[in-house]
A and B are shown apart, each in its own frame.
Chain A
């Protein structure tokens, strides 16, 4: 069902954990739907993401997308991190099963939520960043069987 990359990131998640005094934290998703992602960012004064950690409640794909997302933003500038989309997350994992695509949206959303928190804490405005929704499922269409 899952690609080798997904299985690898699920079995050996990168950057899993917490950051004690983060520059920004974002939590997205909801327990009702079965996945919650939390992203911690440590951003230096030059706007470079020095460290990133995640915690995720969810399926294998949710864990893997969180893990790869941390790799994609680590060491990047805030502007570069904003360019990490759900599509780039899926590509980096060599694909996701269709029913798991929402997990990649969640990863993108988690990065944005953490960046939004960082911007709010510092009273700055990040160009192109919109206020994240609490629940990415709101926009999804109901699947009819």
Chain B
């Protein structure tokens, strides 16, 4: 295929033309600072408010509970560091899982170096957080539970409502990194018992470089970025109005299309999973079979290495990603794949395909054909496969 097939929507998505169009006036004509008093700038304040309202409505929150940030990572950093600091009189213990995004894990490590204690709860073979272990980990000094809504690599959706109930029962705050889930799944913060939630615009066809943190009314939290009184005095810095407008537009579009999109992507995903598992031997699906993001498929192909697979797919104009060490820049493969119990060599041979509503069945068929071809080619090249065949025959 001449055309590029983009199957890496968990990495980032295409900014929708409607989103770009909504943003444009706020770069050129409507450049005022929302904090200014004159009439000209009031339009920016209004646009910011509208975007905030759209986002709040999308998760069943109040506008005053939505704080724009420079992205999902900043929101995670803020939620963890500032909550830990604000509640340190109660205690210095945080609970999270082993399969969180590095935005959470590395922030936890940062806090550990500063005297905080962190418990990393295990997940089962499908990547679902072990609830009994989570509840047992709660101490009188626990101030925060941070568990992601859905995993970015294997797509597993966590039992958020149950976690929310456990947190409430023990009077511990509950933060969720919903960067992958927001715009893909229905989220209601009250129903699910979520106290704080991080999200990012570029995962749902919005611009890169903007996200938000939802902070339930009444929660003490310190500022991470100090300066002016923007974002109700909690996140300083002149508001990124064009991006906030783009974010609002992206959320509006995502909410309107959600039902239809979930249906379409789930069908395509299940077709992809079924064909790959039935047509390529020694292959496994990583993550939960059904409780997974509608657009996520993650496979491990035994005897081959993920980066080689990615490069060969790229030669065929297919964009995908892998949890192999070679793509992570370290010697170890993905911490998520290791946490679900995969041996190193199988974790190295993983492939993540994340769909968008724009993908077609033809693209998926072409991709599967290319994966089959490539896996076969790489297995023929693999000493592990050679040994396996020798042992077998």
Contact among A13, A59, A137 with B305 in the assembled complex (CB-CB below 8 Å): A59
Please, what's the 1-or-0 string for A18-33, where 1 marks a CB less than 8 Å from any CB in chain B? 1000000001000111
The answer to whether A38 has its CB under 8 Å from any CB of chain B is yes
Give the shortest distance, in Å, between B328 (CB) and chain A (any CB): 10
User: Taking A34-B331, A143-B330 as contacts, is the C-beta distance between A55 and B381 under 8 angstroms?
Assistant: yes
Asked whether A56 lies within 8 Å of B331 as measured between CB atoms, the reply is no
Cα–Cα distance between A7 and B329 once the two chains are bound (Å): 19
Contact among A32, A33, A38 with B383 in the assembled complex (CB-CB below 8 Å): A38
Please, what's the 1-or-0 string for B74-115, where 1 marks a CB less than 8 Å from any CB in chain A? 000000000000000000000000000000000000000000
Asked whether A143 lies within 8 Å of B381 as measured between CB atoms, the reply is no
Contact among B325, B330, B383 with A55 in the assembled complex (CB-CB below 8 Å): B383
Residues on the B chain within 8 Å of A36, using CB: 383-384
Asked whether B381 lies within 8 Å of A34 as measured between CB atoms, the reply is no
Contact among A38, A59, A61 with B324 in the assembled complex (CB-CB below 8 Å): A59
Asked whether B311 lies within 8 Å of A60 as measured between CB atoms, the reply is yes
The answer to whether B14 has its CB under 8 Å from any CB of chain A is no
The answer to whether B294 has its CB under 8 Å from any CB of chain A is no
Residues on the B chain within 8 Å of A7, using CB: 311
Asked whether A63 lies within 8 Å of B326 as measured between CB atoms, the reply is no
Q: Which residue of A lies closest to B346 (CB)?
A: A31
Contact among A56, A61, A143 with B382 in the assembled complex (CB-CB below 8 Å): A56
Give the shortest distance, in Å, between A24 (CB) and chain B (any CB): 15
The answer to whether A84 has its CB under 8 Å from any CB of chain B is no
* Chain A, interface SS category: mixed
Give the shortest distance, in Å, between B77 (CB) and chain A (any CB): 17
Contact among A2, A33, A56, A57 with B325 in the assembled complex (CB-CB below 8 Å): A33
Contact among B303, B312, B330 with A57 in the assembled complex (CB-CB below 8 Å): B303
Asked whether A143 lies within 8 Å of B386 as measured between CB atoms, the reply is no
The answer to whether A101 has its CB under 8 Å from any CB of chain B is no
The answer to whether A124 has its CB under 8 Å from any CB of chain B is no
Cα–Cα distance between A89 and B308 once the two chains are bound (Å): 19
Interface-centre pick from A2, A31, A38 (highest chain B CB count, 10 A): A31
The answer to whether B344 has its CB under 8 Å from any CB of chain A is yes
Please, what's the 1-or-0 string for B238-270, where 1 marks a CB less than 8 Å from any CB in chain A? 000000000000000000000000000000000
User: Taking A11-B315, A16-B381 as contacts, is the C-beta distance between A58 and B331 under 8 angstroms?
Assistant: no
Asked whether A34 lies within 8 Å of B383 as measured between CB atoms, the reply is no
The answer to whether A106 has its CB under 8 Å from any CB of chain B is no
Chain B residues near A (Cβ < 8 Å): 303-305, 307-308, 311-312, 315, 324-326, 329-331, 333, 343-345, 348, 380-386
- Additional pairs, 14, CB under 8 Å, beyond known A7-B311, A31-B384, A38-B383: A10-B311, A11-B312, A13-B381, A32-B344, A33-B331, A34-B325, A34-B345, A55-B383, A57-B304, A58-B308, A63-B308, A99-B329, A100-B326, A145-B329
